[in-house]
Amino acid sequence: MTDSNPGSAKPTLKTLPGDDVRQILWRYADRYDLQMVVQSARSVARGLVARLVAEGARHSHEWTPDKQRLLDAMDEAGITAVAIDPEHGGYIPGPKNLALALVAFELSWVDAGAATASLAGNLALAPIHERGTPEQVAKYMGGAVPAAPGEDRRTLRGAFALTEPIPYVGVDTNTMAGRVRVAEWKEGEEPMLHVDKRGRFITNAAFANFVCAAVASDDPRIKGSCMIILEDTDEGVWDPGSPTLKLVHQLSATNDPIYSLKVPASRIIGGYTVQDGVIVPNYSHAEVIEAVFRRTRVTVGLMTAAKLLSAVEPVIRYHRQRFRGGGQLQPGSPRYELGIQQREDALHRLVDVWATGEAAASLGFYTARLFDEFDPLEREKDRLFAERGIKGARAQLKAFAAVKDAALEFIRLEHMPADKRDTARYEELLNDTLVQFVVKDALSQVFCPATKLWNTGVGANMMREAVSLMGGYGITEDCPGFLGQKWMDAQLEATYEGPEAVQRRQLTVTMVNDLFLAQFRHWIRQMRQIAARKPGTGACTLATAMELWLWTIEHLQKAKDANGDTLYHGQRQGVAFPMADALSWLLASRQQILDVLELEEKGKDNPVLADGFEGTVGFLTDLCHVMAARASGEVGRIAAELVYGYLRHPSWDGDCDSCFRASELEAVASVVPGFDSSPLEVIQDDSSHADKAGPCVRFPGMERFRELRLKLDGCLTGARLAKDRAAAALTEVMIPEALDYPR
Amino acid sequence: MSNGYHIVVCGSLVPDPLQTLEPVTTPDGPGLKNESMLPSVLDPWAAHALYEAAHLAKSVPGSKVWLVSLGPKAKLQQLMMAVAQKASFEFVAVDGSASGFTDSFETAQALAKAIESIAGLDRQRLLLFGGCSSASRDAGTTVGMVGALLGIEEQFLAVDEIVPNDDGSFRVKERIEGAQYLVSECAGAPAVLAWATGNLPEPPNNPQVGMANMRTILPALAKAQAAGNLRGSLRFESVETPTQRRETRVVKDAGIDEIAQELAEWIRG
Ligand SMILES: Cc1cc2nc3c(=O)[nH]c(=O)nc-3n(C[C@H](O)[C@H](O)[C@H](O)COP(=O)(O)OP(=O)(O)OC[C@H]3O[C@@H](n4cnc5c(N)ncnc54)[C@H](O)[C@@H]3O)c2cc1C
């Protein structure tokens, strides 16, 4: 028996963070419904899902009876009904973004294909939930609730069909081949429409009995485009098509379906009006898709976050046990106990994987919560607009522009100490739906693409590191935690629901919105304040990196390149896209820091956490510091490349303000003693010069940038010490004896 | 039987058996390393008892199930996030140590006291359920003593099946030596049934059932009485893990012979 309190060394991480810690970090400690959903999803994931993967269910492309069992298990465990409002048979009241995010996280901890199977059902319902008519909502949401035993109805299962065979819709969702035309329109009756849609890579199409399809009009009697609901009992061709031969997510069903069906016009999602004999859908397909993806993409980001965090335990166990067995090593010897953990690089790399997982989860769950706040605001905004007769994109934009100044004022007041601001005005703006809507909208328009982009893109790269840490085992099917499969799966998460380019494109527009930047500026100060209280978080480093990013984005919007061309605009992806990446690093790191502060604040009074609390917080703080340093490095690198990279390097024979002929220099030095010892570029009288591309770069107006870059380097002080501490903690943390899902 | 049974299940938490369980000395005596930080599960034998209770209550109209748990209050709450989804029950909590290093008699006394104070419990209809064993202390005596303290004389240990009859009597199948069963007919409640594994699979989680149970769980946790000293006069001279090293593995589809062979080899050391 050992002593539980050996000496007074600084407390370190004792066990892997459990549910009590996670609930506080991700802010659902007071949501019992969500805690139960987590347990429920976990039991399906680590039970049936894990068994299916272990038994090789991923080896087939077809939708097999075994895979079908997954749907039944998810129905039975309440997962299918999570997305549905109580009035239609669900059981979680209010917005469900966080709930769905937690479900996806739990399922992806084991296998993201299973998560996708669940997600795709929600994706199919989302257009109806977001934009459907009350009748559509009642029918399809209600029908998607699993039929109770003995209930005589089939459960509705949907698919979302946007993507089409090449060369049509993919990243650019404007060009579509899917068509809708009027089939019959009898006087005074509901028009019947004919829909032709071929899908590519459509999840759930193998078993879906309804599909939400994006189609464009092929008929002067129908305006624009729309999303429309198709059912397998409609008249015409309903061909689920052949399975996609995918390398990933094989527990979900992906097919290339063909639909050619006659459906009533009432299936147009969101309804329509008839104007001058033309059917005008209330929402174009693009409007529906925008409302859908901005929510569901967050969930995808969390799938990759789960993978990274799920890798920690298997890697630690593999490393520790690496040299055991064979009888040569004695228990107690460092090689026996620590195995590969004796090697610093292995520890440091796992720290990176873990820190990325934490940051990704923090970013994703924050964004999910943001949408939970945003949803009721959006509904209230829609109600207000309907009341005031504000219709169409242009009229809405005008209404938003009208409250922009008030929104900026609110942002300013919100970041003032409560006792220093005009409380009455603050309350007034706080209760102004439109003001609140535009403030939150500006955030959600950045955080959604940032989550999808960073979590999946950086996450996929990091998953490769995790696989590497398992050596050859990592790329076998036997690898505990299915890490190899997870690495490959992460690439799909970076692709479907809009690949990285789409997220970067959105950020190009939204990250320069004044309402976002105004909030971002306050966050810089907030990070400094945090750093003053808690220097070890890396918040100061991050604040400097945020300043650098801000300077750079402002500069790029004004500056021109060496050819006089504008640097920052939508088509110049070489400028805007890397800035989107850089911002995502910052947001992830910031969110990670905020979550750890929350844990420290709320967890200190929690009796379950009392034991080992300081060590847990200390370790997670070190991970924040590691991530802040890494994020700052990325920002520094990207900013410097963009700020300087588009300028022409000074040359020896061009205009060189700092160049002197050797003879000139001698003459000046005789008048100004010491002049020749200042850092000047010298061209010899025979025109020879130092061996380099040209005189060193000095551009006027860049002083602040250089200052910030230099400062940022200094701000990295301590980051590697934090990494060393975190690495040491990995050698001591107690892990379970075995993984709680099979291999 | 017209009124149904009042089934009280005694069951509490144990550390998740997949965790590393290492005995250490704490200021309060023996314990497990990082015990309060380890995730917990419902004691597996008690869990079987709960599933059987829920099943029995469903098949005998008018029956009702209570789950009485003695454990650290805050940890019980976390445990309930999973357990409450498995079956419908009313919860009764007693705040105290669920450690394996407490005395089963003191524990039984605390449980009996809690059961005595359940409002609306008809002791004539009472079936006291629990595990015949436990993944923590494994004294195998607790439920029997609770029954004795409540004055229940009909006691069945290592039960695998209960078949109720219409008149309130029931048949019980108990495990005895040599892989045999003892089948008894019991005239009716009150009785003690300490369960082995039963016959029922673990029910799937159902958050809706869980949320309904939360209506009694939260108030029960709020008013949970402290159990006080559960170690009584018990003193531990020394505590150690068995010399055989526990190498936990998750194995699928192993045959019975194979499992028996491996266990025999492990015991031989
Ligand atoms: C397993 C799986 C399941 C899927 N499930 C569904 C589903 O249920 N429903 C559905 O509708 N779709 C589904 N999809 C389709 C998926 O959403 C698309 O594959 C994805 O959005 C990318 O479209 P694409 O394949 O046509 O890529 P492309 O449009 O060909 O893009 C390929 C690459 O070209 C570059 N690129 C393209 N356009 C631009 C641009 N404007 N700017 C910069 N770079 C650009 C980017 O690098 C991009 O990654 C699924 C796909 C898979 C693989």
CB pairs under 8 A between A and B: 125
Pick the closest to residue B81 from A24, A93, A27, A38 (CA basis): A38
> Between B34, B218, B248, which is nearest A611 by CB?
B34
The strand pairing partners of B194, in sequence order, are B130, B157
Assigned domain for B215 exists: yes
Question: How many C-beta atoms surround the C-beta of residue B180 within 10 A?
Answer: 8
The 10s digit of each residue's pLDDT in A388-426 is: 999 888 999 999 999 999 999 999 999 999 999 999 999
- Sign for the CA dihedral angle at B47, A66, A739, A29 comes to negative
Residue A564 or B26, more confident: A564
CB nearest A36 (choices: B34, B81, B247): B81
Phi-psi region at A497: left, alpha or beta (left = phi > 0; alpha = psi -120 to 50):
left
Token code pair at residue A589: 């790191």
Sorted by where each starts, the structural domains of chain A and their CATH numbers stand as 19-144 (1.10.540.10), 158-289 (2.40.110.10), 294-646+714-730 (no CATH)
pLDDT computed for residue A1 by the predictor: 46
* A247 CB within 6 A, ligand 1: no
Cβ neighbours of residue A399 closer than 8 Å, sequence gap 6 or more: A385, A388, A390, A434
With an 8 Å Cβ cutoff, are B211 and A33 in contact? Answer: yes
Distance CA B47, CA B55 (A): 12
- Quick check: is B37 in a domain? yes
**A147 in contact with ligand 1, CB cutoff 6 A:** no
CB of A584 within 6 A of ligand 1: the answer is no
Local structure of A444: helix, strand or coil: helix
Tell me the per-residue pLDDT of A56-113, one tens digit each, with 9 for 90 and over.
Answer: 999 999 999 999 999 999 999 999 999 999 999 999 999 999 999 999 999 999 999 9
> Exposed, middle or buried by CB within 10 Å (0-12, 13-18, 19+), for A354?
buried
In chain B, the number of structural domains is 1
Nearest residue (by CA) to ligand 1, atom 45, is A501
Contact assessment for residue A104 and residue A115, using Cβ atoms and an 8 Å cutoff: yes
Amino acid at B109: Q
Crossing angle of the two packed helices A32-44 and A97-110, in degrees rounded to 10: 30
Interface test with A, best of B75, B97, B205 (most A CBs within 10 A): B205
CB contact under 8 A, A736 and B252: no
Q: What is the pLDDT of residue A661?
A: 84
| CB A730 near ligand 1, within 6 Å | no
For residue A4, give the nearest of B24, B39, B78 by CB distance.
Answer: B24
> Length of chain A in residues, anyone?
743
> What integer pLDDT is reported at residue A207 of this predicted model?
96
Interface of A with B (CB under 8 A): 1-4, 14-15, 18-20, 32-33, 35-40, 43-44, 51, 54-55, 73, 76-78, 91, 606-612, 734-743
Whether B162 and B48 have beta carbons less than 8 Å apart is answered as no
Task: Give the mean model confidence (pLDDT) for residues B221-239.
Answer: 89
**CB-based contact, B74 to chain A, within 8 Å:** yes
Ligand 1 site, residue A501, Cβ cutoff 6 A: yes
Who contacts A250 (Cβ-Cβ below 8 Å, separation ≥6)?
Answer: A57, A58, A59, A60, A61, A113
In a domain, B253, yes or no: no
H helices of A162-249, in order, are none
Q: Confidence class of residue B2 from pLDDT cuts 50, 70 and 90?
A: low
What is the per-residue pLDDT for A670? 81
Q: Where does the pLDDT of residue B246 fall: very low under 50, low under 70, confident under 90, or very high at 90 and above?
A: low
Contact between chains at B206 and A35 (C-beta distance less than 8 A)? no
Instruction: Report yes or no: B249 at the A interface, CB cutoff 8 Å.
Output: yes
Residues of chain A with confidence (pLDDT) below 70: 1-9, 676-679, 743
Q: How far is the CA of A532 from the centre of ligand 1 (A)?
A: 45
Q: What is the CATH number of the domain that holds B188?
A: 3.40.50.620
Residue B262 lies in a domain: no
Determine contact, residues A719/A629, Cβ cutoff 8 Å: yes
pLDDT at B269 over 90: no
Asked if the structure places residue B269 within a domain, the reply is no
pLDDT number for residue A448: 97
In a domain, residue B47? The reply is yes
Choosing from A201, A203, A289, A489 the residue with most ligand 1 atoms within 8 A of its CB, the one to mutate for a pocket test is: A201
What span, in angstroms and rounded, lies between the C-alpha atoms of A103 and A115? 8
Name the residue range of residue B213's domain.
6-226
- Is residue B36 a contact partner of residue A610, using CB atoms and an 8 Å limit? yes
Render chain B in DSSP notation, one character per residue: --S--EEEEE--EEE-TTS---EEEETTEEEETTGGGS-EEE-HHHHHHHHHHHHHHHHSTT-EEEEEEEE-HHHHHHHHHHHTTTS--EEEEEES---TTS-HHHHHHHHHHHHHT-TT--GGGEEEEEESS-SSS--S-HHHHHHHHTT---EEEEEEEEEE-TTS-EEEEEEETTTEEEEEEE--SSEEEEESS-SPPPPPP-HHHHHHHHHHHHHHHHTPEE----STT---S-----SS-------SS--HHHHHHHHHHHHH-
Q: Which of residues 218-247 of B touch A (CB under 8 A)?
A: 218, 238-240, 246-247
What integer pLDDT is reported at residue A9 of this predicted model? 64
- The answer to whether residue B152 sits within a structural domain is yes
Does pLDDT of B50 surpass 60?
Answer: yes
C-alpha A530 – ligand 1 centre gap (Å): 40
In a domain, B250, yes or no: no
Going by pLDDT thresholds of 50, 70 and 90, the confidence category of residue B243 is low
Determine how many CB atoms are found less than 10 A away from the CB of residue A415: 15
